[in-house]
Structure 1
Amino acid sequence: MSSDARKIDWDDAYANMPHIPGGADYPPRWAAAAEAFRATVRGETDLPYGDHPRQRFDLFLPEGAPRGLAVFVHGGYWLRFDKSLWSHLAAGPLARGWAVAMPSYRLAPEVAISQITADVARALPDIAARVDGPVALAGHSAGGHLVARMLCEDVALTGDVSARIQRAVSISPVSDLRPLRNTAMNADFKLTEEAARAESPVFHRPRPDVPVQVWVGGDERPVFLDQARWLAEAWPGAQLTVVPGKHHFDVIEGLEAPDSPLTEALLGGL
């Protein structure tokens, strides 16, 4: 390791909130917007896909028969948050006639990141069984990692859901988990070099038949710009979009609008 590498403050490098103006205001703002949205739409909440209290998903339905199913997987460094903060991000796909599901999952340190990957893989068939048609996956931050993992050859999806996945957008993902071993968060992750590589999408071959878009804000932390670029470079055919002026917390806001570039990246042509 070079002397420059040893000087990196890895905890600061992977910290988003302190570097975003008003960063601490975003989670309560998300929660309020999500609660207000749930009061206005059709669907069901807290549907189980397992026995653990966090193995639940919400399903929002459009007017009329759904054109397909969009699944959004939330972030929070595999340590925090749940499905209840993000309901309003279903607005864009719903307006285009798509059903939208949002799962929660178990968190570290209760479980390892590999078990969180397994939770999402377990949730998808149960979710997809409720809605016919194509499936499009989107995830943000840790959720961007988890969505990418659903396309890796070592992750088996039961039922017909694997064949139905037609598009994936990985938003501000962590695609190489090895740098996280240098952060204080690894006290909860307990990642070894081997485990970090095993859970890193950049070290897996993706399914060749699913178009992948990697989406990241131009004002994000340099490490997240790196992480997005690494995934786009590692996966043949993956397209990288760097959105000028967007940071880690507002890069997802496009999902609220049916005609935004982000919603179009997820559903356009399907």
Structure 2
Amino acid sequence: MASGVKLTPLAAIEKLSERIIRILGCNPGNHTLQGTNTYLVGNGKKKILIDTGSPDNAEYMRNLKKTLQDHNSTIQEIVITHWHNDHIGGIKDICTDILTDPVKISKLERKSVPDQDVSPGKYTFVEDKHLFTTEGATLRAIHTPGHTEDHIVLYMEEENALFAGDTILGESTAVFEDLHSYMQSLQKILDIKPNILYPGHGIVIENPVEYVTYYINHRNERENQILAVLQKNTGQNLSTLDIVTSVYVGLNPSLIPSACGSARHHLKKLVKDGKVELINEADEEKWTLVTRKSNI
């Protein structure tokens, strides 16, 4: 989640390694940073495309076509890291305007609700640890829920590299649906010890272990900041917005709803930990510190 930080400019098309070309989604914003990173992977004529950007983006489609033409390549298959529209949105246009024949479009299936229709494309649902292979590259899907329930990262064995989707972002921190799962997913990535991370948004991360450790420490620090606000107001019932205003000083107003969502995940975790109590006041969630009573 960006908060007014000046972002590093990214080229619309850039070859990042012998096997990887990044095509920027041309959809910059507070949540997408410079735009959604999509990647063509492999060093043969047929390449795997990771993610597809936002819908109805003519500039991205032109850049994707140009990249394929310049490298005399075609799309072997499409792999989706998760269901968000800035990652699946380009599927329909790719199927209509770029592909001459249907290709496999793979992702993990959402369990809570049906996956969105991407006609004329059609999803093939894969499981954790599924292997995708193309000339020069092998990608292993690793289920990393937290940002979304269906999120995967892709580990490329040949370069000890990880396509991190939205679990890790360059120059920013990620938002998530479930903090408990998210923290476990960060640990999974840390345990892999990749040499390099290619995020779904932002710059390439060349110090992954240090960077992911920062992410974990950042979440723990955020939890401590929330506890500090509640401790300062012991005995009072605070709204999520009250807490966010105290913790995220100077935050861009457009990002306040996301910050409230993030803080609420922390607060729900703290309720499970027995440190915070949820109070419902006139249909509004409020939070208060659990105070331990002495037995003396």
Decide which structure has greater strand share: 2
Q: Which has the higher contact order (CA 8 A, sep 6+)?
A: 1
Pair member with larger Rg: 2
Is TM > 0.5 for Structure 1 vs Structure 2?
A: no
Decide which structure has greater helix share: 1
**TM-score computed with the length of structure 1 as normaliser:** 0.29
